[in-house]
Amino acid sequence: MDVQIGAHLYRNSNGTIEIEGAPQIEIERHPAGGFPRVTFAMFDTSGRMPVKLMKSTLAINEGRAYALEKSPTSLVLRHQETGKAVLHVDLAENGRLVISRGEFYTLKAHTLTITPSEWTLEKTTVAAGETDVNGGAVSLK
């Protein structure tokens, strides 16, 4: 599965995105051929999990602070009060999954920021490019 995060393409992934060594996003193909199923865990600065998606469905939504918007080609998880996209995933025509926007804490309480042109985690910024992960997980660190 090809996954684009910001402007960087990760080819031939197994659908797992590890952030700082921990799987935080998992993507699996939908059995009926629809939008892929996304599992995502978001943490706060103390390591608690206020929101979790399981197969593109809200499983945890502490204080109902988040809203999930789905269409046949996209999934957006938003903070209700600010309207800010925590995670924005699109399915491109070529079957590539594109994570074009997002801002959330990792398990280690660092902020991962994704824009259409790059992703940034701590002091690492990755812009346009391509990486073949040879059937393994995408690793952001």
Q: Which residues of the chain fall below pLDDT 50?
A: none
What is the value of pTM for the model shown?
0.94
pLDDT, residue 33, reads 79
* Percent of the chain surpassing pLDDT 70: 100
* C-alpha distances out from residue 115 to 60, 62, 103, 118, 134, Å: 25, 26, 9, 5, 25
Could you state, in order of their start, the residue ranges of all structural domains in the chain?
3-136
